Amino acid sequence: MPPRKKKTEPADMKQILWQSADKLRGSLDAAAYKHFVLGLVFLKYVSAAMSEKRAQLEAELREEGGWSEADILSTLEERREYTGAGIFYVPQAARWEAVLERAGTTVEGQTVGEAIDAAMLAIEAQNPALKKTLPKIYASGRVDEERLVGLIRLLDRLAFQEQLGEDGHRKGARDIMGEVYEYFLAEFALKEGRKGGEYFTPESVVQLLVEVLEPQPGERVYDPACGSGGMFVQAEKFIESHGGNPLNVAVYGQELNQTTWQLAHMNLAIHGVEANLGDEPADTFRNDQHPALKADVVMANPPFNISDWGGEMLGMDRRWAYGAPPVGNANYAWLQHMISKLAPSGRAGVVLANGSMSSKQSGEGDIRRGMVEDDLVMCMIALPGQLFRSTQIPACLWFLAEGKGRHSAWVRGRKGEVLFIDAREFGVMKNRTLKELTPEEIVGRVGDTVRAWRGVAGAAAYEDVPGFCASVGLETVAEHDFVLTPGRYVGTAEAEADPDAEPVEAKIARLSALLREQFAESERLAKAVDEQLGRV
């Protein structure tokens, strides 16, 4: 009997596909190659999602009865049957099967690259929400036909039909495709190193932001530096995991980089997130795509310490309520931009460099003081190192809450207080160079601590924990000159008492006796040396 083949698990399949696709990359760098791969992944997804819906619709029509074969076939190609269900309509010539068939032939005429570009244009034409977002780069010659064919055949191995997940729930094409897309995004970011940080925030950091901010159904969520849209994906997952409708959230974002803006559109489409990312990629400071927006939840990982943000042209901007940020560093420009976007009782979570908590150069200390005195700062979290592949700069999380302790229903009874959390010792090594926060640290340590401090119904009573967390009044923060570094306030962890340890008094007596013995021995040896020297 021939040996039974080992079953390939979904996680193994993703790794196999990634390794194989990486081998096909050739001389093209990861920053450029990712668009070729992720564009094809998206094409496979929209085709699989439509195919899944098509099969469901056909089964319903046949069960209903009274339909002729021609009417069934006609109905199955009606665009509104798909768009009305939140699924992109893909014309027949643009479907994955058509591209796969073209990749398997050697006839003259349209190249594989031209066929893919034509498919992208056709999908955009049928789905206005995707206008100007899909890559039309496959006929550019940057990846030769042989490699394109290899990629298509590799990705065809991904099965996106409904599957049973590890949690016992069934996953459709969208869920499975979302996992694959996230996996590929993370792997490309890892390949690109520092450059990859421009569009990808480590998943555990995003999860921590979302766990603290707790977006709710019906709220408006905004990210002014949205990268590939990971914040929105995690926000939707959080809402769904807590029994809410993830589609009942208004999502707004902005991204400067053209290709990253396209990645975000594809990523969010795959996850079923309807988002307004503006009419075009644009600079948040100089071309705000959502000027009238007031958001309930703002979350962002803006680039750290950027100096070329155009601050010299924005000296009198209305957003600078606490003072003009320094031209040479955008950290406090990001903070004040996000404050300007907060709705009454809104809240924000921002990833910034550690220096933002204590810097005083060019008026930053005065801006921070104004924010603290206005009771906007809710919580500060110091993060462990090695979380970000794009930078070795230590990072922290700022959490702001409009109306804290006054009219905010989100934070109760904490007027004039700031919660400090020191999580620098958190995290486990993901590989030789990168750490990630664990679910227990995100939910059980930080999340539960913040909920307790906020006074959430059903949460435990809040208590300061030396070395980890402390709730501090503004007068104490003022004594520290408005420096917001958690280590200044949480103190050091109390050492656990060892029941088998020697009593302090007995230990002192024992060590004192030992010291006297050693002194006596030292004197004896000194005399012996003197005697020996006298005989020389």
pLDDT of residue 246: 74
Taking 70 as the pLDDT cut, the residues of the chain under it are 1-13, 27, 106-108, 159-175, 192-199, 390-391, 405, 493-502, 536
pLDDT at 168: 46
Q: How many CA atoms within 13 Å lie on the side-chain side of 530?
A: 6
pLDDT confidence of residue 32: 79
For residue 529, what pLDDT is reported? 76
End-to-end CA distance of the chain: 91
* Whole-structure pTM value: 0.81
Rounded to whole angstroms, what are the CA distances from 12 to 30, 44, 183, 356?
A: 21, 19, 12, 41
Strand-pair category, 170-171 with 163-164: antiparallel
The domain locations on the chain are 10-185, 199-490
What pLDDT was estimated at residue 145? Answer: 85
Residues 6+ apart with CB under 8 A from 135: 35, 36, 39, 120, 259, 262
Tell me if domain 10-185 and domain 199-490 are identical in fold. Answer: no
Given CA atoms 119, 122, 126, 128 in this order, what sign does their dihedral have?
positive
Return the exposure string of 46-57: e unless at least 16 CB atoms fall within 10 Å of the residue's CB, then b. Answer: bbbbbbbbbeeb
CATH code given to domain 10-185: 1.20.1260.30
The pLDDT, as a whole number, for residue 390 is: 64
The pLDDT value recorded for residue 171 is 57
- The per-residue pLDDT for 214 is 93
Q: Which CATH architecture has domain 199-490?
A: 3-Layer(aba) Sandwich (3.40)
* Residue 429 three-state SS: strand
Instruction: State residue 5's pLDDT score.
Output: 41
